Amino acid sequence: MTDLDIWVRRGCATVVAAVAAYASYEHQREFALHGGADPTGASLWPLSVDGLLVLATVGLLMPNRQGNLRARCAVHLAFFLGIAISMAANVAAAPTLAWQPALVAGWPPVALLLAVALLARGNLT
């Protein structure tokens, strides 16, 4: 694999992550507003979810260090919990719970999950 190929793959994964964050922000904000958050808190709530995902993603992409199983488990738990919360908030904020709006609203966290999984498995590095 050439250096250009590696950078193109990483760039595509970064675009997927950026689009996922952008697409899910308003859904998560709306979810927080309906959940009782004030407007400022609702605007910040998606950043807590996506911030956790960024931290966990960095942890997943770090080289596996032997002997630190507890930390690796915490990183995996943080990532999957962040994806689950993002998915729940996105789908709950869909205009209706029909399959199309739910699919559109739920896709960003799934896309992020798949992009990170590909990076973490070494398929894009």
Blockwise average pLDDT, block size 10, the chain, 125 residues: 81 87 90 95 93 84 73 89 92 91 91 79 56
Q: Report DSSP letters for 26-87, one per residue.
A: HHHHHHHHHTT--HHHHHHHHHHHHHHHHHHHHHHHSPPPTT-HHHHHHHHHHHHHHHHHHH
Q: Which residue has the tokens 């760039």?
A: 11
Q: Rounded to two decimals, what is the model's pTM?
A: 0.79
Looking at residue 1, its pLDDT comes to: 65
